[in-house]
Structure 1
Amino acid sequence: MAGGAFVDQGPVREYNYRLTPKVFVTCFVGAFGGLIFGYDLGISGGVTSMKPFLKEFFPHVYHKMENAHENEYCRFDSELLTLFTSSLYLAALVSSFFASTVTRVFGRKWSMFLGGLIFLLGSAFNGFAKNVAMLLIGRILLGFGIGFANQSVPVYLSEMAPPNLRGAFNIGFQVAIIFGIVVATIINYFTAQIKGGYGWRISLGLACVPAIMIMVGALILPDTPNSLIERGHTEKAREMLRQIRGTEHVEEEFQDLIYASEVAKQVKHPWKNIMLPRYRPQLIITFFIPFFQQLTGINVITFYAPVLFQTLGFGNKAALFSAMVTGIIELLCTFVSVFTVDRYGRRVLFLQGGIQMLITQIAIGALIGVKFGVTGTGNIGKTDANLIVALICIYVAGFAWSWGPLGWLVPSEISPLEIRSAAQAINVAVNMFFTFLVAQLFLTMLCHLKFGLFFFFAVFVLIMTIFMYFLLPETKNMPIEEMNRVWKAHWFWGRFIPDEAVSVGSAEMQEKTV
């Protein structure tokens, strides 16, 4: 049981459903929420490597970059430049807590719409920026929009999808994120070649497109049965459940949702309740998954791939092209998770991906250290540079079918309704806080740790893989409202879960809530 094995707690409910066009379309459109996050992840690194952008807003970085004798590891080291990237994620952290209330009170779809609207305003500020202040205001608005979308979309997908396909549908959010990254890197590649030096404005301004897509999508989406019940629309919820399950026989699942909602209504203070011992497993896992996800080092690649490749000796065009290639590989490999997560489970993907990332990070760090040296004045030949790119692609592939999609899936599915919005807010806040730290400190860390930066992240990959082996139970095919069975059966977490918590419909469980 130390590996997170499951101890039988009685039969799991088998709800009636068939895969309907309605649930497929709603989850597909709902996943659009990931586009705004992905587009920003992909666009910012490319823009910060464009000389016209640096010359206009960060001239000191431009002059440092042009200095051929500068230590290559420190070419882009600038706190103001990293603040341009990282300020967004600090704003997303703050907005995620407001988004929790909006998601609970007004529904998941309106939280998504508001996120798209704020993101649209931010794209306008950035596209028409005349100074650094306008850039930062735009980034903060973008961050608020991402905070709302990231809080609501994974929950929406988990609640709409049938239990046996919840993993695949929820990973649609990560697919949208990676698709946004790929589109952004392609746009950067071509806008960087526009004569006149205004290509960066097109890159930043085109963020309005995914923003409009999520706004339109939110307007046409139905709300989830869980959210409708939560807001008192019981009959609408029953009808919605019939439509997305493709059958009239939904009473068993409907009653479970009603019960979960009644329990949730007893919870007057979800932020207080999530600290209770009975929710300790969800709190710990919800905190550490996004914590470890950001400390895999993936955002070093995502944010600063063009900058990193230029540091390794690639020209600007070649660096942008290499970033585009890694983005495409990440997108393709994310589909591996879509087709395997509900068959083989979450744990095996987490563990396999962790081992793959660990090995490649050590290899990348060692190769850069040997060829580039400590001073950063060594030379990397074309063969070695291509080998590093290949290793980075293997690393990205491991992340793409494990920690990338599962980092959003698992936290969104493990919490009961009464703390779900608060738990997802914690997930987003932790994710954004450590994304902010990595984005803000990466260039300085690269300057000081040099190739040792990859070993730094490798240590965290080792720790997180061990953590997941011992402390993450398997959640595949488990109905979202019966997830306490998983925690009760776990060798470590079972001590925190009261016996009545695994009995759906037990009145005693309501008496335990505050």
Structure 2
Amino acid sequence: MASSSSSSQPFNSQMTLYVLVSWAFAAFGGLMFGYDVGISGGVTAMDDFLEKFFPRVYQRKLVAKENNYCKYNDQYLQLFTSSLYLAALVASFGASKACTILGRRLTIRLASILFIVAAVVSGSAPNLFLLIIGRILFGIGVGFGNESVPLFLSEVAPVQYRGGVNILFQLLVTVGILVANIINYFVSTVHPYGWRIALGLAVIPAVVLFIGSFIITDTPPSLLERGKEADAKSTLRKIRGVENVDEEFEQIREASEIAKRVKNPYRNLLKKSSFPMLFISVIIQIFQQFTGINAVMFYAPVLFQTVGFRNDGSLLSAVITGTINVVSTLIAVAAVDRFGRRKLLLQASVQMFL
């Protein structure tokens, strides 16, 4: 896939209303992913949910007075929580092709449809089978959304705002997690359907994302990839708010031509010349996972329960954790273009060590 992000030179452009509206709609993809991540831990901490789908876990929870650590040990419960990530992993391979063949906009629309169906199935699930199916559909939607939305955001953004916009998706993920934690906290007292409300409310950002997919247009790099040069140039004029976009358009076209000439891009990653960059990229991601932050975001209410918090206390603690996460990401959005990614990464590493 080609992108115009190869240069940091500010072209003749201005921040247009169309760009802001496009960001607003597309960013709901990040909100959707964050909501899916944050909602699961709170739901699995609700007694009504456990009693219906995981009665053995519920019974262990009632009698586990001394040892809290084994009461959530259940293969089906683990399948419920992990199926989203497994489905997203598999779907991500097809999502890359979909972005190239269908374009960013249609891939975003496909993700939103999957989210809508998943929310309806999960929120109304009468049995464990349909509950897992709903989670798998969520996961496929996440795979397609996480591929297409960040790509769309960066390709629409003017070059001088691209660093901050790339973090915008992550910001909306953290906001989605926080919103999910807040909803979990309030619906946990709605018996016996609080968990249905929590899972079903995912349909709201999904519908917004679906509507937005009809308002936004595809990005110039995506249109060029599919041979629509005239549409690509007119779209670039629209999103930049100026008539003279020749310089930026030529760079986008050049990047597209280079991308088309590359054969077997994944195989090229394994070449000796690419190994240092590949190694660093993979290691950074692996160690980021090893920090445990994703486990905390996903299982926060359950983790707080296992260390002795009551149900409402564990959900409130998850809200506090999510709030700190959002505030930290806001600081990163404001600082990334000023200080650069490397400095932010280094200070974050020191901060986590401390």
- Cα displacement (A) at 1:237: 1.4
Partner of 2:255: 260
Partner of 1:237: 232
- Cα displacement (A) at 1:346: 0.4
2:156, 2:8 → 1: CA distance?
A: 19
Q: Which amino acid aligns with 2:151?
A: V
Contact 1:33 1:214 in 2 (8 A): yes
1:207, 1:284 → 2: CA distance?
A: 37
1:245, 1:348 → 2: CA distance?
A: 30
2:305, 2:184 → 1: CA distance?
A: 15
2:340 aligned to which of 338, 345, 352: 345
1:332, 1:287 → 2: CA distance?
A: 27
SS across alignment from 1:15: coil
Partner of 1:466: none
2:277, 2:155 → 1: CA distance?
A: 17
Contact 1:46 1:320 in 2 (8 A): yes
Q: Which amino acid aligns with 1:101?
A: K
2:76 matched to 1:106? Answer: no
String of CA shifts for 1:321-340, please: whole Å, max 9, x gaps.
11112112211221111111
Contact 1:64 1:70 in 2 (8 A): no
SS across alignment from 2:13: coil
Q: Which amino acid aligns with 2:239?
A: I
2:310, 2:287 → 1: CA distance?
A: 32
Partner of 2:123: 127
- Cα displacement (A) at 1:205: 1.3
1:163 aligned to which of 153, 159, 162: 159
Percent identity between the aligned chains?
50
Once the two structures are superposed, the pairs formed by residues 84-483 of structure 1 within 5 Å of their partners are 84-195=80-191, 197-277=192-272, 279-280=274-275, 283-359=278-354
SS across alignment from 1:71: coil
Q: Which amino acid aligns with 1:259?
A: E
1:254, 1:282 → 2: CA distance?
A: 28
CA distance change for structure 1 residues 230 and 350 in 2, over 3 Å: closer, same or farther? same
Contact 1:28 1:172 in 2 (8 A): no
- Cα displacement (A) at 1:269: 3.2
Gap regions ≥5 residues in structure 2: 1-6
> Cα RMSD (Å) of the superposition?
1.8
String of CA shifts for 1:111-163, please: whole Å, max 9, x gaps.
11111111221112211112211111111111001000001111111111122
String of CA shifts for 1:54-76, please: whole Å, max 9, x gaps.
11111111111112434123232
TM-score, length basis structure 1: 0.65
SS across alignment from 1:248: coil
Q: Which amino acid aligns with 1:114?
A: L
String of CA shifts for 1:70-112, please: whole Å, max 9, x gaps.
4123232223212111011000000001111110111111111
- Cα displacement (A) at 1:24: 2.2
Q: Which amino acid aligns with 1:119?
A: F
Once the two structures are superposed, the pairs formed by residues 482-501 of structure 1 within 5 Å of their partners are none
Contact 1:105 1:231 in 2 (8 A): yes
2:236, 2:270 → 1: CA distance?
A: 31
Q: Which amino acid aligns with 1:301?
A: V
CA distance change for structure 1 residues 241 and 284 in 2, over 3 Å: closer, same or farther? farther
- Cα displacement (A) at 1:211: 1.4
1:246, 1:281 → 2: CA distance?
A: 40
2:57 matched to 1:61? Answer: yes
Q: Which amino acid aligns with 2:44?
A: T
2:38 aligned to which of 42, 56, 61: 42
2:107, 2:49 → 1: CA distance?
A: 33
Q: Which amino acid aligns with 1:148?
A: F
Q: How many residues align?
A: 348
- Cα displacement (A) at 1:191: 1.1
TM-score, length basis structure 2: 0.93
1:306, 1:22 → 2: CA distance?
A: 39
- Cα displacement (A) at 1:280: 4.0
String of CA shifts for 1:279-307, please: whole Å, max 9, x gaps.
44554454334333322211221111111
String of CA shifts for 1:474-501, please: whole Å, max 9, x gaps.
xxxxxxxxxxxxxxxxxxxxxxxxxxxx
1:75 aligned to which of 71, 75, 78: 71
Q: Which amino acid aligns with 1:53?
A: F
CA distance change for structure 1 residues 108 and 277 in 2, over 3 Å: closer, same or farther? farther
**Greater Cα radius of gyration, structure 1 or 2:** 1
2:37, 2:203 → 1: CA distance?
A: 15
2:43, 2:292 → 1: CA distance?
A: 20
- Cα displacement (A) at 1:272: 3.2
Contact 2:8 2:160 in 1 (8 A): no
1:165, 1:276 → 2: CA distance?
A: 33
